[in-house]
Structure 1
Amino acid sequence: MPIPAATLYPPFNILRLSHVELCVTDLARARGFYVDTLGLQVTHEDAGHIYLRAMEERGHHCVILKLAAAGSVGVLGFKLYDQPDLDKAAAWFAAQGLSVDWVERPFMGRALATRDPMGVPLEFDVQMDRLPPIHQHYALYRGVKPLRIDHFNLFSPDVDASVAFYAQMGFRVTEYTADEDTGRTWAAWMHRKGGVHDIAFTNGRGPRLHHLAFWVPTPLNIIDLLDLMATTGYVGHIERGPGRHGISNAFFLYIRDHDGHRTEVYCSDYQTVDPDLEPIRWNLKDPQRQTLWGAPAPKSWFEEGSVFDGAALRDSTLAAQPIVAP
């Protein structure tokens, strides 16, 4: 299907992605992965949660680790421009026949909870608690030196439908993969903040979270993380990379925590702020779309993801298959 035209004046103003809640089965083990290895900073912890932020972030948290019986994803969060936008968002989701709930969350002001048509739990906020800057506290930098949360990538059973819905909220497509046989979209990258994406959708059984991603300073930081993981018992958690994507031009690495949640650490994508920027189209059969250089993605990268709490899974009706490593 054709990529929808950009909605330059959406019904409410999303600035960027904000946070994610990851349900984990062992908080101490998760702390060892996300704090001691990856390098995120703890902003609060209690018996059931650990709140984390990256080095350039002023908001209280970008990741919430929540103790649970099984690994899953509780919510994907996005930041809106101002308080009136929260009310506009609530009215818009209600008009779409979707749930609207006002929720109280620690370290956040008024927040709107809802779901997209695929069942993905979404949360919108404006006024998360602000913390003092730490980006020049270089003694705190460790792991891959994550600077900021950058994007979410989701498996969707109907990428065209997901793209159409998020386009109505003002997300703009920067790049996409087309299946030439059916004319349908196999994957698409959509942004609000002026990078290649805040959210992306990949064809597959879903909805599921494929990965969350952090922007890091340089490719050398990724090499440092690989050395650290290889010598601290985490070598088996390295899933894919390093390499460079054709789509987004990003230098990347994919790693998995003990509950299977996938994190990408990457750098080197490009600016997309022009409202008339044309999306870049890729053929699904082009091997350089996913890997400009580097080893092909393993089968797990195309098939495994994290389920969303309360969302029913559906198989995709698009059976097109990209190149998979043996």
Structure 2
Amino acid sequence: MSVMRLGFVHIRVTDLEEARNHYSNTMGMKVVHEEPGKLWLKCWDEYDHHSLVLEEGGVGLVKLGYKVQTKDDLERYEKRAQQFGCTTGRVSAGENLTVGDGVAISVPSGHRVELYDEIEYVGTDTGALNPDPWPRDGRGIAAHWIDHALVAADDPGLLERFFTEALDFHVAERAITNISHPEVLGSWMACGESPHDIAVIKGPDAKLHHFAFHLEDWNAILRAGDIMSMDDVSVDIGPTRHGITRGTTIYFFDPSGNRNEVFAGLGYRTFPDFPTVNWTEDQLAKGIVYISRELNEAFTTVFT
């Protein structure tokens, strides 16, 4: 049927205890399992066993996991990826904790993407029977869920083609050089109704720009900024609004230097027939930082 959503992000961190403090106490995630050198965490409004894996030993992205609807989807997307020229492999149930069988794909940018159709269901902190709107014991920012990831690619247009042609994503917004010569500089792609489930910008292959946590609204973004100041978190950009996706945002770094984002406001809903919005290179600063229309150097040069 389709790819449904981003399921988990697996990253490396230099110091596991510093990362535990950041993601658990500042972001408000719950540690659901731990082994030597590794932590699994989830947000309060996520029903899967985990959405984030932290692995000690370096920095940057290990892989992204996307959930598909059926086992038939795994075979179908595996064949499509192979036809696109990608290397694929099978992932056995249990290789990823609580996750079923899957397909690993080395996408054209060198990132590892894994597709799977089963993961242990544990439920949200508020439950599914007469639930309250939020948990009373939420910590820190109390992020709802991990929302999307943005990666770098030397050829963003090729990666856009892979996700749309092989995995059935659709392009919500695109950054291009200009209308006359529309070379792709960035692409925001969705597999559901969100403005983006994966995005790519021009940069070094196999690198991560950021992954994002969903918050409820602008007030939650401002409160998150207060908590970041209380916890001495290194802030990159914001609080501000995006032109692209219309979301409100803060970009910041975990203690290892992996960039995070808190993101609120869907901005709009997308569908397979959604007409792609284009931003030209001369207006890209406004597209990313709508209010100030200025980008700091780190935003376009720091990847992990």
Question: Do both share a fold (TM > 0.5)?
Answer: yes
- Residue 26 (structure 1) aligned with residue 15 (structure 2): yes
Q: 2:119 aligns with which of 97, 117, 128?
A: 128
Offset, 1:63:
0.6
Q: Identify the residue that residue 177 of structure 2 maps to in structure 1.
A: 179
- Residue 53 (structure 1) aligned with residue 56 (structure 2): no
Q: Deviations over 1:234-279 (max 9, x none)?
A: 3xx1111000011111100001012211111011123334332211
Offset, 1:197:
0.3
Q: Identify the residue that residue 252 of structure 1 maps to in structure 2.
A: 249
SS in 2 for 1:154: strand
Offset, 1:97:
3.7
Offset, 1:295:
6.5
> Which residue identity is paired with 1:296?
E
Q: Identify the residue that residue 160 of structure 1 maps to in structure 2.
A: 157
Q: Identify the residue that residue 110 of structure 1 maps to in structure 2.
A: 101
8 Å CA contact 2:9, 2:65 repeated in 1: yes
CA distance in 1, matches of 2:32, 2:71: 25
Cα RMSD of the aligned pairs, angstroms, is 1.7
Offset, 1:26:
1.2
Offset, 1:67:
1.4
> Which residue identity is paired with 1:76?
L
Offset, 1:125:
0.9
Change (3 A) 1:71 1:139: same
SS in 1 for 2:82: helix
8 Å CA contact 2:48, 2:123 repeated in 1: no
Q: Deviations over 1:38-70 (max 9, x none)?
A: 1112211122211111122111111100111x1
Q: Identify the residue that residue 83 of structure 1 maps to in structure 2.
A: 71
| Map 1:1-326 → 2, pairs under 5 A | 13-68=2-57, 70-103=58-91, 104-135=95-126, 136=132, 138-168=135-165, 169-180=167-178, 182-234=181-233, 237-286=234-283, 287-294=285-292, 296-306=294-304
> Which residue identity is paired with 1:119?
G
Unaligned runs of 5+ in 1: 1-11, 307-326
TM normalised by structure 2 equals 0.91
> Which residue identity is paired with 2:226?
D
> Which residue identity is paired with 1:179?
T
SS in 1 for 2:300: helix
CA distance in 2, matches of 1:207, 1:74: 9
> Which residue identity is paired with 2:172?
T
8 Å CA contact 2:3, 2:69 repeated in 1: yes
Sequence identity (%): 25
> Which residue identity is paired with 2:197?
D
> Which residue identity is paired with 2:106?
R
Offset, 1:296:
2.2
> Which residue identity is paired with 1:106?
L
> Which residue identity is paired with 1:105?
N
> Which residue identity is paired with 1:126?
D
Change (3 A) 1:171 1:106: same
SS in 2 for 1:43: strand
> Which residue identity is paired with 2:294?
P
> Which residue identity is paired with 1:192?
C
CA distance in 2, matches of 1:53, 1:18: 11
8 Å CA contact 2:111, 2:205 repeated in 1: no
Q: Identify the residue that residue 129 of structure 2 maps to in structure 1.
A: none
SS in 2 for 1:285: helix
